[in-house]
Amino acid sequence: MKSEINEDNLSIDMKPFAQQLQGATDTDYFYFFCPDCKNSQVTRILDYEIKEDSPDNPYNEQTKSKAARGFTILFHLFCEKCNYKGKVKVSNLGFRLVS
């Protein structure tokens, strides 16, 4: 299912959250690939939202490493090739500890 562009107000209907989103890095930047394009098309980050910003991180008590804070950032993604638009969160609050 591809996103639809609304020509009346130039808004783009956004998928709730990107499914099986992948990415890579070849520098000190991380790139998200479009999940609809098959050729590793890189998406643009159009905007971001700070969803959570906490002076403490609850995982600090369970880990050797200590995070300076807790955060969740939501990125708004767009693919110039196929008009895919989605959201993805990056956080240090909702991960699973692996032993």
For the segment 37-88, what is each residue's pLDDT rounded down to a tens digit? 988 899 999 999 999 999 999 989 888 999 999 999 999 999 999 999 999 9
pLDDT at 3: 41
**CA–CA separation, 90 and 65 (whole Å):** 18
Structure tokens at 31: 């790139």
Q: How confident is the model at residue 96 (pLDDT cuts 50, 70, 90)?
A: low
Residue-wise pLDDT for 9-47, tens only, equals 334 455 555 467 889 998 899 999 999 998 889 999 999
